[in-house]
Amino acid sequence: MAILVVCRGCRARFKVSDQFAGRTGPCPKCKTPIRIPEKTEEVKIHEPDAAGPGAAARAAIKPIAFEETKWNPVAAAGIVAAAVLALLVTWLGGRAELFEKNILLRGLGLLIISPPLVVAGYTFLRSSEDLAPYRGRRLYVRAAICALVYIALWWVFGLLAERVLTGELWMWACLATPFFLVGGLAAMVSLDLDFGNGVFHYCFYVLVTILLRQVGGMGWVWELGGPTAGLG
């Protein structure tokens, strides 16, 4: 049986007969002395030990099953229907001037619509390589926490807008930037999104709620805090 030998000088590989095992001789190429290993020094690969007694024993460690998340047309149709319903209810409430006169109804409406918006944004922005995306109760709890942070940001923004904002764009940029940073961090921490997707998630929420504000008869958000001529 041949023994594989590697020269330490020129790194040449060749096979020698096992009758030379344990001997030393020069390399055929560079003449560096080479010691032929004994047969007992050969590396042997052993079979893995059985997981337990009996032929029916199973391995103690099982592979993690990856369940691919597939597009669900029924769920998509439900999201679209809910969005249309929310727009219709908001529009009817705006026609009746319910939201403009009652701050409690505004807060209640935001409390109702925010968690579904967070879930919808997570569904589209989560990484496709995530082997264990949040689902069910875990997702709803995290979405509720994220939604509360988003609502609190709107509340703080409303307080500051009446005191700080003017019609100049640079004032809006200075005030809005910290809110988008905090919103992105909230999505990153609560939903395990990366920071970039977290910011996009908060942008999605802000854009939808701004649209709902206009549909509800409360005007555009940039009409807060003073003259808006500079905004066109």
pLDDT bucket at 72, cuts 50 / 70 / 90: low
Cβ atoms within 10 Å of 110's Cβ, excluding its own: 19
Indicate if the pLDDT at residue 168 is higher than 80. Answer: no
Average pLDDT value for residue range 9-18: 73
pLDDT of residue 228: 39
Q: Amino acid identity, residue 79?
A: I
Q: Where are the chain's structural domains?
A: 2-40, 94-231
Longest Cα–Cα distance in the chain: 102
Average pLDDT value for residue range 13-42: 73
Spatial distance between the Cα atoms of 70 and 133, rounded to a whole number of angstroms? 12
Spatial distance between the Cα atoms of 3 and 35, rounded to a whole number of angstroms? 12
pLDDT of residue 55: 46
Tokens in use for 68?
């691919």
Q: Which of 61-70, 100-109, 176-185 has the lowest mean pLDDT?
A: 61-70
Average pLDDT value for residue range 92-109: 73
By the 8 A CB rule, do 185 and 198 touch? yes
Residues contacting residue 229 through CB under 8 Å, at least 6 positions apart: 167
Q: What percent of the chain has pLDDT over 70?
A: 62
Please give the backbone phi and psi of residue 50, each rounded to the nearest 5 degrees, phi first: -65, 150
pLDDT of residue 218: 72
Average pLDDT value for residue range 20-24: 75
Indicate if the pLDDT at residue 19 is higher than 80. Answer: no
- Which of 16-20, 71-75, 151-155, 219-223 holds the top average pLDDT? 151-155
Average pLDDT value for residue range 75-95: 70
By the 8 A CB rule, do 4 and 13 touch? yes
Spatial distance between the Cα atoms of 20 and 5, rounded to a whole number of angstroms? 11
> What are the distances in angstroms from CA 230 to CA 170, 176, 207, 223, 226?
10, 17, 20, 11, 11
Average pLDDT value for residue range 116-140: 81
pLDDT in tens, 134-151: 888 999 999 999 999 999
Is the full-model pTM beyond 0.75?
A: no
